[in-house]
Structure 1
Amino acid sequence: MGLRDLMNETLADFNPKTDNPNAGGFENLPDGDYDVVLNKVEHKVFNSGWECLSFQNEVTIGEAAGRKEFVNMSFADSTPEFVLKKNIKLVAKLASVTGVQLSDDDWEDEITLVEAFQAAVGGQYILKVTSSPNKKKPEEPYRNFDFEEYDDEDEAPNSLGDLIEISDEDIPF
């Protein structure tokens, strides 16, 4: 698709005088289970001042292959305690699924957690996405995440079992 085609598709229902150009540019993955690879772990600080530990997941197979899902977790003092506890459990679960051994020192802050998870970048697992109702903003349901490791290494879609053996005779040069 060329730039002109993309422009026509993008601006078909966009009014530059009244519409926000930043709205609607990113669509979350629908509820479901996804084979993903952990692309990046970082400590993000948004323009609003909101800070989070961010895990960038990329879907590896299926209809959604190539799409990304960001799992962002805040540990700010203003975060409700039940959310903090849930976020701590999510980090611990992802560490378990990716084989990261978190020490007490890794829990110092978001930056030390980012450093601890660098060894997991490139790791694969199943990302489970579910939604639950948001009473205050029904149009924006809460997004819930869970992580699951493959039962067996052979189940991983990009495991060594998927490699093709090529002999020297098969190479054309």
Structure 2
Amino acid sequence: MGLLDTLSNIKKEGFDPKKDKVATNSKLDSGTYPVRLKSAQADVNKHEQTQLAITLEVVSGKDKNRLEVIYISFDDGLPVFVLEKNGRTLLKLAAMAGIEFTKKDLEDEYTAAMALEKVLGSQFLMNLSITENKKNPNYPYRNYDFGPMEDEINDPFGGTGSTIDISDDDLPF
């Protein structure tokens, strides 16, 4: 896409250079997305809390290749309801990725990240809902739920399958 095509697309999207900001929000909107587990890392955030940073990549649709990073911490200073929500989020994500944690995997965020690295590439659905944060409106709450990826075509023999698109040019005869 060249200069003229790029600027034409921006204009079609409604960008007004006299009123709009150059930087746009790159975060995903509320919705259900087919995703794959791209990475799982543990680090220490600016509040000196150890956290998991789980990166999911949208695999199809208009948001294909966009990323959603989920930060999960189990720091002692967090409220119990936050710790429980983080625990449910981690367990649900792991189940959809096809891993059952062992006790050793859950010693801390670093061992959990190493366990998740074993199932990188796993695909599942992410349901993202965004709700208002009254205390800090610039940072709305991002709530997650996960489910299995659904095949679009059912096999007449009881299984599930998918189609392969082959053009006539690819056929040998």
Q: TM-score range by the shorter chain?
A: 0.7 to 0.9
Matched, 1:87 2:86: yes
Q: In the alignment, which residue of structure 1 is the partner of 2:32?
A: 33
Q: In the alignment, which residue of structure 1 is the partner of 2:13?
A: none
Deviation at 1:124, TM superposition (A): 0.5
Structure 1: gaps of 5 or more residues: 14-18
Q: Measured at CA, do residues 142 and 126 of structure 1 come closer, stay the same or move farther in structure 2, by a change above 3 Å?
A: same
The residue correspondences of 1:54-133 to structure 2 (distance < 5 A) are 54-133=53-132
Matched, 1:45 2:65: no
Give SS of 2:63's match. Answer: coil
Matched letter for residue 30 of structure 2: D
Give SS of 1:128's match. Answer: strand
Q: In the alignment, which residue of structure 2 is the partner of 1:147?
A: 146
Matched letter for residue 71 of structure 1: I
Give SS of 1:102's match. Answer: coil
Post-superposition Cα deviations, 1:77-127, rounded to whole Å, max 9, x if no partner, equal 111111001111111111111110111221110011011111221010001
Q: In the alignment, which residue of structure 1 is the partner of 2:14?
A: none
Q: Measured at CA, do residues 75 and 125 of structure 1 come closer, stay the same or move farther in structure 2, by a change above 3 Å?
A: same
Stretch moving more, 79-88 or 37-46? 37-46
Query: Does the 8 Å CA contact 2:106/2:112 hold for their aligned counterparts?
Result: yes
RMSD: 3.4
Query: Does the 8 Å CA contact 2:37/2:97 hold for their aligned counterparts?
Result: no
Q: Measured at CA, do residues 26 and 76 of structure 1 come closer, stay the same or move farther in structure 2, by a change above 3 Å?
A: farther
Q: Measured at CA, do residues 63 and 49 of structure 1 come closer, stay the same or move farther in structure 2, by a change above 3 Å?
A: same
More helix as a share of residues: 1
Q: Give distance in 2, aligned partners of 1:35 and 1:69.
A: 12
Q: TM-score, structure 1 length as denominator?
A: 0.73
Give SS of 1:65's match. Answer: coil
Q: In the alignment, which residue of structure 1 is the partner of 2:162?
A: 161
Deviation at 1:46, TM superposition (A): 3.4
State the identity as a percent: 32
Q: Give distance in 2, aligned partners of 1:71 and 1:107.
A: 18
Q: Give distance in 2, aligned partners of 1:31 and 1:86.
A: 18
Q: How many residues align?
A: 156
Q: TM-score, structure 2 length as denominator?
A: 0.73
Q: Measured at CA, do residues 38 and 155 of structure 1 come closer, stay the same or move farther in structure 2, by a change above 3 Å?
A: farther
